[in-house]
Amino acid sequence: MSTRLKETFNGSAPGAPATAGAASGTPATTGAASDAARRPQPDPTPPAPAALAAKVRTLAPSMTRSMQRVAETVAADPAGCAALTVTGLAERTGTSEATVVRTSRLLGYPGYRDLRLALAALAAQQATGRAPAVTADIAVDDSLTDVVAKLAQEEQQCLADTAAALDTTQLEAAVAALAGARRIDVYGIGASSLVGQDLAQKLLRIGLIAHAHSDPHLAVTNAVQMRAGDVAVAITHSGRTTDVIEPLRVAFDRGATTIAVTGRPDGEIASYADHILTTSTARESELRPAAMSSRTSQLLVVDCLFVGVAQRTYETAAPALSASYEALAHRHAPRPR
Amino acid sequence: MSTRLKETFNGSAPGAPATAGAASGTPATTGAASDAARRPQPDPTPPAPAALAAKVRTLAPSMTRSMQRVAETVAADPAGCAALTVTGLAERTGTSEATVVRTSRLLGYPGYRDLRLALAALAAQQATGRAPAVTADIAVDDSLTDVVAKLAQEEQQCLADTAAALDTTQLEAAVAALAGARRIDVYGIGASSLVGQDLAQKLLRIGLIAHAHSDPHLAVTNAVQMRAGDVAVAITHSGRTTDVIEPLRVAFDRGATTIAVTGRPDGEIASYADHILTTSTARESELRPAAMSSRTSQLLVVDCLFVGVAQRTYETAAPALSASYEALAHRHAPRPR
DNA sequence: TCACCTCTGAAAAGTAATTTCAGTCACCCG
DNA sequence: CGGGTGACTGAAATTACTTTTCAGAGGTGA
């Protein structure tokens, strides 16, 4: 059958011998025209996406021995072959460049370049497909690559859980209280102390009077000063950290509005909280103590509080934000490069 | 291979006195000298797999305008760009072939050919992967429900980007250094200070001697005491916070092993870091300053460091972890219910 | 304003892909 | 059994694409 294409692909009819440049652009002779006309489809298949192995099997019978070698090599190790040039692949399969190109054509690509691209794509698909859920606990002998993947995965899950479980009504109330507060105290101990400082830093940045306390004694001392119109925020994952509950109780008794950010909305701390924001907890393992996921979760809640407050005090918050940015500029070395 | 590329920017190597040196290093410090001597490796970046969008964001600030155009085009439409030749992409972005090649290099590939391969791979992943994830900026009039959803979404993305872009080799080296450290100093200012404290807290928990400094003067004072066998960690998103660079430089000069956790691996801080861990940067908007995403990213890196160290010192870490847990038990109110 | 320095793209140089072409081999027919 | 025929193959020539070089444009600081 004439389908046995004359190696040449574009309409360079044998009519014009040698013929340098003219080939592509020239409208051409009758011979070329009819050739083009009779070239309905070089190959009915569009650049195959990922069903390459199947295609190789289908087409194998119509291939010559050398071409089969190329096709099989390619199907067996897409990733490896994608890294090779024509010459490289020719060598690896013990054939010539011409054969590689011919194989590429037979498989439905315009040339080797495109086969190579498809190979890279295929390799990527295989790679992602082969990476199933990494839900397993982090083990002592996990590679660092695994550790990174698992940690990222777990924290992402934690964020999703927290967002889904967060009570918008409570959040709304908490934001309103913060936005109108005369002064804000934040209580947190240990890991939660950092979250508290983060909140206080952010609120300060938009012009609110906020202070984070991690010293239980000082916290209580300060709490005594609180009164109606003030807001106290307590952050504790367990919901029963006495050193944090105590100042919140004091502030509550003094008439301040109290907010609890906790993973145990039924804990003792709930008794003294006007608004409760629940953080979620991920499974924890030996190497991944609760502190990690609770922190992630708490920070998301804190960010939500901050953005909410910033929205409601936009008139003052926006200028304050850019001002604090400007003020820090000179603490940085001159632009590199 | 033999083609020793000429235009190689390899400015990535901090030592290159050509550009960076002229600009910032002019004051002629001892740092520059020891720096050149101890320069770790020419290009720490392996061909990124799929973290391309993140990488573009990270590197964008250090790119010229035309390069940014190329990088953005490529990040926005990997599939489309994979089909283009250098010339095609140059035309599409209104630049020249040279610029496209330069951009490819900056992104960590040997040349355009390889970037194109990676693009094809990325496109394939995206195609099989999930929906494009629509992330609009947070607006002033968004409802709190929207705010929660958007924040959670963005932080998740940030985690994924960070994990994908994290250089395992660097991480491995950093973990090894920390695990064997005689003492560990952590430098961080502002928002990064909290991350630093988090790291120090965690390391303390597993029996290492770690201290976080947020006072620049005290940090330098402490850095002077560092010597070989000690490890200094600096955390700065911008990579050019002088108050953090300074103590790291001092520790570096004293012979300590230095680690930088930064969003700008090409920043000045790179000159004094034996190991660089790159955090990724999310788009930032007015209501969501860079601090938020950088913090999320930094914390993931810190967690990875911690888990890595805990694995390598498991014999002592495991008992230490449970011991600290026990020790805190009495600070909690009796179990509710 | 001038000197300097970086960025940029046009074009040269180089590398990889494609096509040509002639040699080889197997098969088939006389 | 021998000669002819046609298909397969790889070396070499050609073409397409990529990379490097280089000089001018545009900006910046003195």
Distance from CA of B219 to the nearest CA of A (A): 16
**Residue A233 contacts residue A186 (beta carbons within 8 Å):** yes
- Alpha-carbon span B20 to B36, nearest angstrom: 12
pLDDT of B210 strictly over 60: yes
- Alpha-carbon span A200 to A173, nearest angstrom: 18
- Alpha-carbon span A60 to A96, nearest angstrom: 18
* Phi, psi angles (nearest 5°) of residue B213: -120, 130
Question: What pLDDT, on a 0 to 100 scale, did the predictor assign at position A318?
Answer: 76
- Alpha-carbon span B268 to B27, nearest angstrom: 13
Say how many CB pairs under 8 Å bridge A and B: 210
Nearest-Cα residue of chain A relative to residue B64: A337
Q: For strand D, give the nucleotides within 7 A of a protein CB.
A: 7-22
pLDDT of B39 strictly over 70: no
Grouped pLDDT means (10 residues each) for chain A, 337 residues:
40 34 34 34 46 76 83 88 90 90 89 91 76 65 88 88 90 95 94 93 92 93 92 91 92 95 85 91 63 86 94 82 66 54
Number of residues that make up chain A:
337
Distance from CA of B255 to the nearest CA of A (A): 23
For B121, the closest of A121, A129, A168 (CB atoms) is A121
Q: Which of A288, A158, A285, A263 is nearest to B205 (CA)?
A: A288
Question: Averaged over B90-104, what is the pLDDT?
Answer: 91
Indicate the range of B22-31, B88-97, B278-287 predicted with least confidence.
Answer: B22-31
Question: Residue A19: which nucleotide is closest by CA–C1'?
Answer: D14
Question: What pLDDT, on a 0 to 100 scale, did the predictor assign at position B43?
Answer: 42
Q: Is B144 in Cβ contact with A175 (below 8 Å)?
A: yes
* A141 interaction partners in chain B (CB closer than 8 Å): 311
* B21 interaction partners in chain A (CB closer than 8 Å): none
Q: How many CB atoms lie within 10 A of CB A255?
A: 12
**Confidence bin at B49 (pLDDT 50/70/90):** low
Sequence-distant (6+) residues with CB within 8 A of A106 are A43, A59, A62, A63, A67, A71
Q: How many CB atoms lie within 10 A of CB B302?
A: 24
Question: Averaged over B61-86, what is the pLDDT?
Answer: 88
Question: What pLDDT, on a 0 to 100 scale, did the predictor assign at position B66?
Answer: 87
Question: What pLDDT, on a 0 to 100 scale, did the predictor assign at position A211?
Answer: 95
The secondary element (H helix, E strand) that includes residue A262 is strand A257-262
Question: What pLDDT, on a 0 to 100 scale, did the predictor assign at position B253?
Answer: 94
The per-residue pLDDT for range B116-138, each reduced to its tens digit, is 999 988 888 777 655 444 556 77
Question: What pLDDT, on a 0 to 100 scale, did the predictor assign at position A5?
Answer: 40
Q: Which of B240, B307, B309, B324 to probe the A interface (max A CBs under 10 A)?
A: B307
Residues packed against strand D, CB within 7 Å: A 4, 19-21, 23-24, 64-67, 94-99, 102, 113; B 3, 5-8, 85-87, 97-98, 101-102, 104, 110-114, 116
Q: Is A266 in Cβ contact with B287 (below 8 Å)?
A: no
Question: Averaged over B152-159, what is the pLDDT?
Answer: 88
Q: For strand C, give the nucleotides within 7 A of a protein CB.
A: 6-12, 14-21
Distance from CA of B124 to the nearest CA of A (A): 5
Residues packed against strand C, CB within 7 Å: A 6-10, 12, 18, 85-87, 97-98, 101, 104-105, 110-114, 116, 337; B 2-3, 19, 22, 64-67, 94-99, 102
Question: Averaged over B251-273, what is the pLDDT?
Answer: 90
Question: What pLDDT, on a 0 to 100 scale, did the predictor assign at position A158?
Answer: 87
Distance from CA of B38 to the nearest CA of A (A): 21
For B336, the closest of A155, A266, A300 (CB atoms) is A266
Question: What pLDDT, on a 0 to 100 scale, did the predictor assign at position B217?
Answer: 93
